[in-house]
């Protein structure tokens, strides 16, 4: 029973990592850059929902949808204003740029007087409800995370499989130049991908908020999603979720069975092992250059 309980909390936490990692992977696949700002986009999403609910008194669902839309628009804007001008520069410049964006986001939120420096609770309707299945205690917040992740994955899968937009995104992620030649608006798609990643991050933020509260530094959890993305294989969407689950479960078990201090480092030890054994990750694509 203990194991099942640990597994459940590991899966719930892992879904959050998976969702953030999904943002990395979406951006990496489409534009071959890595966004260090993903965790802070998550924080912005959570704050957006919080602002909608507490400042404007909206009901949860309306606030959530509005925050989602706002974050998607913000992602598109970010790509347009900041990322696009340095497209084609070395990958590392973009990494530094996203670190800069993360700093700005954190700084801006902290500067909001009276709100930015405090921790808040997001009053979701399903807060503090517990189900008992046999001896297993199921927290409804955890259940919501798992269900929402599953639904989101289904939607994304359907989009990439059946919609024209998704197929165009796949095409441009495989070969941008060839996609250009086939008449796919690659630049606009890149913007949309950033928007999508920001929206996914916002969802992760709103799901995480009931568990960890809303505060300006919650974005640092994004750093734990890097191991998730690597374990799953950086270029693979299902890999991101699976990697997230692996990291979440590893963390949850390490926290229980291993001595203090291993809980926070276990994901990083796992990723180092993964890089040593199989650098491409569990689902990583293997491409070789022809000379």
CB of residue 109 vs other proteins: minimum separation in angstroms? 7
Strand partners, 132: 137
235/227 Cα distance (integer angstroms): 13
CB of residue 133 vs other proteins: minimum separation in angstroms? 35
Footprint on this chain of other proteins (rule: CB under 8 A): 28, 32, 34, 82, 85-86, 88-97, 99-111, 113, 116-117, 176-177, 216, 220, 223, 226-227, 230, 234-235, 260-261, 264-265, 267-269, 271-272, 275-276, 279, 285, 287-289, 291
Buried b (16+ CB within 10 A) or exposed e, 246-270: bbbbbbbbbbeeeeeebbeebbeeb
Question: Cβ closer to other proteins: 93 or 121?
Answer: 93
Burial class (CB in 10 A: 0-12, 13-18, 19+), 160: middle
Question: Cβ closer to other proteins: 6 or 99?
Answer: 99
Question: Cβ closer to other proteins: 57 or 90?
Answer: 90
Question: Cβ closer to other proteins: 11 or 29?
Answer: 29
Angle at the Cα of 14 from the Cα atoms of 234 and 92, rounded to 5 degrees: 30
Question: Cβ closer to other proteins: 64 or 169?
Answer: 169
CB of residue 115 vs other proteins: minimum separation in angstroms? 11
Question: Cβ closer to other proteins: 1 or 291?
Answer: 291
Angle at the Cα of 168 from the Cα atoms of 165 and 174, rounded to 5 degrees: 145
- In sign, the C-alpha dihedral spanning 108, 19, 98, 174 is negative
- Residue 20's Cα: distance from chain center in Å? 1
Question: Cβ closer to other proteins: 5 or 110?
Answer: 110
CB of residue 196 vs other proteins: minimum separation in angstroms? 20
Burial class (CB in 10 A: 0-12, 13-18, 19+), 47: buried
- Cβ(136)–Cβ(3) below 8 Å: no
CB of residue 249 vs other proteins: minimum separation in angstroms? 18
CB of residue 263 vs other proteins: minimum separation in angstroms? 10
CB of residue 256 vs other proteins: minimum separation in angstroms? 17
Burial class (CB in 10 A: 0-12, 13-18, 19+), 227: buried
């Amino acid at each position: 029973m203990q194991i099942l309980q640990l597994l459940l909390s590991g899966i719930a936490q892992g879904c959050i990592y998976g969702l953030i990692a999904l943002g990395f992977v979406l951006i990496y696949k489409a534009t071959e850059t890595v966004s260090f700002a993903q965790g802070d986009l998550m924080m912005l999403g959570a704050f957006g929902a919080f602002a909608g609910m507490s400042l404007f008194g909206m009901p949860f669902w309306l606030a959530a949808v509005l925050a989602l839309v706002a974050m998607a628009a913000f992602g598109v804007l970010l790509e347009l204003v900041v990322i696009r001008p340095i497209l084609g520069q070395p990958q590392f410049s973009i990494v530094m740029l996203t670190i800069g964006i993360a700093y700005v986001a954190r700084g801006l939120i902290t500067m909001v007087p009276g709100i930015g420096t405090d921790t808040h609770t997001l009053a979701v309707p399903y807060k503090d409800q517990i189900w008992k299945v046999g001896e297993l205690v199921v927290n409804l917040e955890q259940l919501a995370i798992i269900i929402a992740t599953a639904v989101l994955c289904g939607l994304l899968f359907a989009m990439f499989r059946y919609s024209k937009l998704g197929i165009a995104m796949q095409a441009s992620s495989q070969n941008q130049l060839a996609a250009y030649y086939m008449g796919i608006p690659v630049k606009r798609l890149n913007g949309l991908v950033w928007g999508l990643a920001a929206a996914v991050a916002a969802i992760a933020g709103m799901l995480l908020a009931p568990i960890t509260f809303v505060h300006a530094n919650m974005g640092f959890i994004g750093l734990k999603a890097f191991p998730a993305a690597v374990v799953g294989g950086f270029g693979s969407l299902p890999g991101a979720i699976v990697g997230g689950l692996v990291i979440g479960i590893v963390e949850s078990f390490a926290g229980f069975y291993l001595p203090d201090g291993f809980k926070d480092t276990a994901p990083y030890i796992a990723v180092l092992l993964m890089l040593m054994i199989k650098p491409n990750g569990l689902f990583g694509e293997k491409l070789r250059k022809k000379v």
